[in-house]
Amino acid sequence: MNKLLETFGKLKNKWLDLSRTKQIVIGVLIVGLIAAITIFGITSSKTKYGVLFSNMDANDSAAIITKLKSDKVEYKVDSSTNTIYVPENKVDDLRLQYATSVKGGSVGFELFDNSSQLGMTDQQFNVQYQRALEGEMERTIKGFPQIDNARVQIVMPDNSVFVRDGSPAKASVFLKMKPGQTLTKNQVKAIVSLVAGGVKNLSPNDVQVVDDNMTLLSSDLNNSSNQDVSATTAARSNTEAKEEQLLQEKVLNQLVPIYGKDNVKVQVNADMNFDSTEQSSTAISNPTVISEHNTNDVTPGGTSAAAGASPTNNNVNSNQIVNNNNNNNGNATHNETIRNYDTNRVETKTEVAPGNINRLTVSVVVNEANISANEQASIKNIVNQAVGFNQQRGDSVSIEGMRFDTTLQNNARNAMNQMNQQAQQQQRIRLYTAIGIGAAAVIAAIAAGIVVLVRRRKKAAEEQYEDETTSLDAVIDDTIVPKEQVKYDPIDFEQEDEKAHVENEVKKYASTKPDQVADVIKAWLAENER
């Protein structure tokens, strides 16, 4: 017990020996350590919760909470975000266990798993089937990353054996988008195709899609003809604009080096033909004899035989000449000549690609009041060569000389120059200000350094003077004052004897020449040490 008290006493003494600052620092460290240990103990003993499911439908939340209660699992519910929290170490297992219970607010074909079809009428079956089909569609659409929630309503037609042409099916889709998300036309068309493909006798034209901003996303979605016409018109206009710009740049590249950049204005209008045509032509050359067959028959005392069928191919043109003669001696002569002809046939097909220029009109204005006819002719010749002038298609080029109104350009140029001057002036002011601040800072730093240096030297000189004076006094005391205590006579300040005079002179000499006095003292000390 005594040792313990002694130990506490030593600690108390050490604590009291510490400065006030050290005591405060040690106290803060001890309090912080105790607080950290306390917080760690509280947090380690507290149950940590993790997100099991979030943004759930009310029906799904009720089903999950019922299962958690039956399984006696601790949970927390955030009603603002429909989020369920469970202990963090059980999140993965419970999520896999309850995954089948989350329907996303939609009920699919599992409706038929929990109900018996015995005793169910056709009307009830159709209603159940429609609900299941709508739920499956909703689940599929909710799987898209841009969509937060979806509702699908399908109107099924009434099928009857007594009706030949029934009414088609129809569907409506409501989409609740996630914050900041939108759908493109192609994405909306994909959703429409998805719904139309999953319902019998449902045309994409009968599917309407609406978002949470009450915007009809499926308007004019399936009007492909209008879209194609619009796209084609835009493409043709773009092609014409590019062609006109290309020709305009060609003309400017020729005239700008002559008259200057702002002294020539060129406008080109191109009328283009975007029709695709195909031309076919067939050329037949003169017929050529490819074979010839001659037959001469003499029949005594008889008549000539009729010419038989030609042995040649019917696909080959032939010419048959028959000559029958009966002479006086009763003999009959038969002469037959067969010639086969062939012709050269050349077929040519020409396809004309769209984008040909039907007509060009070019207008050139030069910044000159009076332009001569020769100069106009020269400019026109340059323009004709640059744009590929074709008189047969009706191209026209107009050259005019006029003075340009440069008031606006001059005002803009003056304003720009003024802005540049102001910017340069502000830049110079900032530069001079920075230089002044830098110079002032340098001067202040130099002055501060000089002051500090002077103070240090002054302090060092004072300390050295004090040390030398102290040493001198000690030496004088050692030299003059004897070891034995001597009784001195009272000092008469008015009377100056020889001893006082010597002492005053030594002090005066030490104050005026401290270095020499220090050397003398050092010499005395060295002699005493010997």
Does residue 216 contact residue 209 with C-beta atoms inside 8 Å? yes
Output b/e per residue, 353-362; b: 16+ Cβ within 10 A: eeeebeebeb
323-344 pLDDT, tens digit per residue, is 555 555 556 777 788 888 777 7
Model pLDDT, residue 479: 46
In one-letter notation, the amino acid at residue 472 is L
Does residue 183 contact residue 177 with C-beta atoms inside 8 Å? yes
Model pLDDT, residue 364: 92
Rounded to two decimals, the pTM is 0.36
Model pLDDT, residue 345: 77
Strand intervals (E) in 178-286: 202-211, 264-273, 277-284
Model pLDDT, residue 382: 92
CATH architecture of 109-227: 2-Layer Sandwich (3.30)
Q: In the CATH scheme, what is the code of domain 240-276+354-404?
A: 3.30.300.20
Which position has the token pair 């963090």? 88
Model pLDDT, residue 453: 76
User: Which residues, including other chains, have CB under 8 Å from residue 256's CB and lie 6 or more apart?
Assistant: 264
Model pLDDT, residue 448: 74
Q: Which residues does the chain have with pLDDT short of 70?
A: 1, 44-46, 55-57, 59, 100-119, 159-166, 222-231, 300-331, 464-502, 527-530
Q: In the CATH scheme, what is the code of domain 49-99?
A: 3.30.70
Give CA 182 to chain center in angstroms: 17
Spatial distance between the Cα atoms of 249 and 261, rounded to a whole number of angstroms? 12
Model pLDDT, residue 35: 84
